[in-house]
Amino acid sequence: MEAGRRRWEWRYGRAQLLAWLLAALQLGSSEAYEGKRAKIEDFAKDWFMAGTAITAPTSLILTPGVPGRVGEIWRLSPVPSNDFEMLLNFRAKRPEKRSTENDGFALWYVEENASDALQNMTKGHAHNQEEIIAGTWGHAFLTQGFDLSGYRSMYKGLGIFFSESQNSSVTALVNDGSKQVKWGADIPNAEAMKFDFAGGTSERGLGADVRIRVRVQPKEVVVEAENKGIIKLQASLAAGGYIGISTFSGSLEPKVHEAAERSMRFEIQDLEISNKDPNAKPAEKEVQAVPQAEARKSDEISEDVLRESSSFKEHRAESDAIKDLTNMVFKLVVETQPMRTQMLQAIETLGKRISTMEKNFAELKAEIDKKSGHKLSEEFSAIKRELSSLSSVAATATQERHKKLETLHSDIADVHKSAHSPDVIDKHLDKLSQSNSKVLDKLTSEHRMMFGVSIAAIAFIVIAGLALYNKFRCWEKRHVL
Q: What is the pLDDT along the chain (481 residues), one digit of tens a residue?
A: 333 333 333 333 333 322 322 232 233 323 333 334 455 666 777 889 999 998 887 888 898 888 888 999 999 989 988 999 999 999 998 888 777 777 889 999 999 999 999 998 888 988 888 888 888 888 889 899 998 999 999 999 999 999 887 788 999 999 999 999 998 888 889 899 998 888 765 555 567 789 999 999 999 999 999 888 999 999 999 999 999 999 987 777 777 777 768 888 889 988 888 888 888 765 544 444 555 555 556 566 556 666 666 666 667 777 888 888 998 998 888 888 888 889 999 999 999 999 999 998 888 888 887 877 777 777 788 888 888 888 888 888 888 888 888 888 887 777 677 765 666 667 777 887 888 888 888 888 888 888 888 888 888 888 888 888 887 778 777 654 4
DSSP string, 231-266: EEE---PPSS-EEEEEEE-S-SSS----TT----EE
Sequence-distant (6+) residues with CB within 8 A of 5 are 278, 279
Burial bucket for residue 440 (CB in 10 Å: 0-12, 13-18, 19+)? exposed
pLDDT of 345 reads 92
For 163, the enclosing helix (H) or strand (E) is strand 156-163
Using alpha carbons only, give the angle 132, 137, 138 rounded to the nearest 5 degrees: 125
The pLDDT assigned to 1 comes to 34
Q: Where are the domains of the chain?
A: 40-275, 319-436
Whole-angstrom distance, CA of residue 292 vs CA of residue 42 = 10
DSSP strands (E only) in 402-474: none
Exposed e or buried b per residue across 24-51, where buried means at least 16 C-beta atoms within 10 angstroms of its C-beta: eeeeeeeebbeeebbeeeebeebbbbbb
Q: Are 215 and 85 in contact (CB under 8 A)?
A: yes
pTM of the predicted model as reported, rounded to 2 decimal places: 0.54
- Residue 306 φ then ψ, to 5°: -60, -40
What distance in Å separates the CA atoms of residue 460 and residue 477, rounded to the nearest whole number? 26
Name the nearest CA neighbour of 257 among 95, 120, 146, 122. 95
Q: Which residues fall within 8 angstroms of residue 368, CB to CB, at 6 or more apart?
A: 376, 471
Q: Is residue 254 reached through a cis peptide bond, with omega within 30 degrees of 0 on the bond before it?
A: no
CA angle, residues 163, 168, 171, in degrees to nearest 5:
50
d(CA 199, CA 264): 11
What's the chain's length in residues? 481
Cα–Cα distance for residue pair 245/289, rounded to 1 Å: 11
Which residue in 217, 218, 196, 215 sits closest to 207, CA to CA? 196
Angle, to 10 degrees, between the axis of helix 422-477 and the axis of helix 316-372?
90
Are 310 and 34 spatial neighbours (Cβ–Cβ below 8 Å)?
no
- CATH assignment of 40-275, among 2.60.120.200, 2.40.50.140, 3.30.70.270, 3.40.50.2000: 2.60.120.200
pLDDT at 214: 96
Cα R_g (the chain), whole angstroms? 49
| Residue 317, beta-bridge partner list | none
